[in-house]
């Protein structure tokens, strides 16, 4: 595949996460064009624009039969070679046949590159059993947070609030559909939740930052019987300290959601291609791949930036 667009994911900016991958090629939010086919490939042709998933399940093991695709041993071992930020990428046969989609005409390369990040949000809402009458709080208004707000709006959420210290991201979140904001540089999450909900809390709280301190603080914003959705992984040594007594008697469900599978990838691309969820305005910066270092530096500065996209000649 010749890569045409590749987004920088928030996980690409986590020092502890990328440190163990030093020397490898990053990138999994990708759209490209097939330039060569291996023997036996069917259903695809040279010139097809595609969105390949960087991991693909076997669809046959016990985990797959239960819909737990990310726990499939083959899913965890499969990957794009060498990575989505390469100019040319080899797609393993399993990834091609089981979780690669053709990009419909009329959908731009950049919008198609949002398929994987949107799919992770779709999975998170399914994993947490989001209900259309739920009041939602999104903590962290980066790309995933903006997509979560837009998706919740489509699902008919009873109320949508967001929390972030970055003014530009709160402003974009208003355009995404956020109705109430918590500026965490001025008030705590708990204070903001009390102000907005009158003390009852939110039914569904999606925590984007992968930091245990934020997750623990977010617990106070969840309503009785509500869901605390952990969207990003904390570092291995970052231990989570929660009040088990409080969790038990308020029956708060703590649900992690890791990546996504073929079902969510298909749904995400369909929504994007049918213009049911706009994403183009979330791209704030574009850099050619030979300026990737500059692109990563910009992505690390949240004020004024959101999705930073690498482009390929």
Segment 23-78, tens digit of pLDDT? 899 999 999 999 999 999 999 999 999 999 999 999 999 999 999 999 999 999 99
pLDDT band at 87 (very low <50, low <70, confident <90, very high): very high
Q: What percent of the chain has pLDDT over 70?
A: 100
- The tokens of 187 are what? 């008030």
Tell whether the model's pLDDT for residue 98 goes beyond 90.
yes
CATH superfamily membership of 129-256: NAD(P)-binding Rossmann-like Domain (3.40.50.720)
Q: What is the CATH number of domain 2-118+260-311?
A: 3.90.180.10
Find, among 6, 304, 271, the residue nearest to 168 by Cα: 304
What per-residue confidence (pLDDT) applies to 222? 98
Mean pLDDT of 235-244: 94
SS3 content of the chain, % helix, strand, coil (to 5): 40, 20, 40
Can you give the pLDDT at residue 304?
Answer: 96
61 Cβ contact list (under 8 Å, min separation 6): 72, 73, 74
Pinpoint the residues of the chain covered by CATH 3.90.180.10. 2-118+260-311
For 189, the 3-state DSSP assignment is helix
Q: Give pLDDT, residue 305.
A: 97
Comma-separated ranges of CATH 3.40.50.720 domains in the chain:
129-256
Contact 155, 179 (CB under 8 A): no
d(CA 259, CA 120): 5
Question: For residue 13, what are its two tokens?
Answer: 């900016």
Estimate the crossing angle of helix 115-127 against helix 143-155, to 10 degrees: 60
Element (H, E) at 159: strand 159-163
Token pair, residue 191, equals 């204070």
For 139-178, write each residue's pLDDT tens digit. Answer: 999 999 999 999 999 999 999 999 999 999 999 999 999 9
Q: What local confidence, expressed as pLDDT, does residue 21 receive?
A: 83
Per-residue pLDDT at 116: 98
Taking the CA of residue 182 as centre, how many other CA atoms within 13 Å lie in the half-sphere pointing to its CB?
A: 24
* Rounded Cα–Cα distance for residues 100 and 96 (Å): 5
| In the predicted structure, residue 22 carries a pLDDT above the cut 90 | no
- Write down the mean pLDDT value for the chain: 97
Q: Which two tokens stand for residue 278?
A: 């706009």
Per-residue pLDDT, averaged over 187-197, amounts to: 98
pTM of the model: 0.97
pLDDT at 243: 94
Q: Sorting pLDDT into bands at 50, 70 and 90, what band is 20? A: confident
Contact 18, 306 (CB under 8 A): no
Cα–Cα distance between 1 and 88 in angstroms, integer?
6
pLDDT computed for residue 23 by the predictor: 86
Q: Stretch 226-244: mean pLDDT, rounded?
A: 95
pLDDT at residue 295 greater than cutoff 90: yes
Residue owning tokens 């999606």: 206
CB 45 within 8 A of CB 34: yes
Closest CA relative to residue 51, chosen from 125, 105, 122, 1: 1
């Amino acid at each position: 595949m010749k890569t045409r667009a590749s987004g920088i994911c928030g996980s690409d900016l986590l020092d502890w996460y990328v440190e163990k991958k030093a020397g490898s090629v990053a990138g999994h939010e990708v759209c490209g064009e097939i330039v060569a086919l291996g023997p036996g490939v069917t259903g695809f042709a040279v010139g097809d624009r595609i969105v390949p998933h960087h991991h693909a399940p076997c669809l046959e093991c016990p985990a797959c039969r239960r819909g737990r695709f990310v726990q499939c041993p083959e899913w965890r071992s499969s990957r794009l070679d060498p990575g989505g930020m390469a100019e040319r990428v080899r797609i393993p046969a399993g990834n091609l046949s089981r979780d690669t989609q053709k990009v419909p005409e009329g959908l731009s390369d950049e919008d198609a590159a949002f398929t994987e990040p949107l799919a992770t949000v779709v999975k998170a809402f399914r994993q947490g059993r989001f209900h259309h009458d739920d009041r939602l709080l999104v903590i962290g208004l980066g790309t995933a947070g903006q997509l979560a707000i837009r998706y919740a709006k489509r699902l008919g959420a009873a109320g949508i609030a967001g929390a972030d210290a970055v003014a530009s991201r709160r402003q974009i979140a208003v355009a995404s559909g956020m109705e109430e904001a918590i500026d965490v540089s001025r008030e705590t999450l708990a204070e903001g939740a009390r102000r907005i909900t009158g003390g009852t809390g939110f039914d569904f709280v999606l925590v984007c930052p992968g930091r245990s301190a934020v997750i623990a603080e977010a617990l106070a914003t969840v309503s009785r019987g509500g869901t605390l959705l952990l969207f990003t992984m904390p570092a291995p040594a970052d231990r989570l300290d929660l009040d088990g007594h409080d969790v038990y008697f308020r029956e708060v469900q703590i649900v992690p959601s890791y990546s996504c599978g073929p079902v969510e990838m298909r749904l995400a691309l369909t929504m994007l291609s049918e213009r049911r969820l706009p994403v183009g305005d979330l791209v704030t910066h574009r850099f050619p791949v030979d300026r990737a270092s500059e692109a990563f530096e910009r992505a690390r500065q949240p004020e004024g930036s959101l999705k930073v996209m690498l482009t390929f000649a």
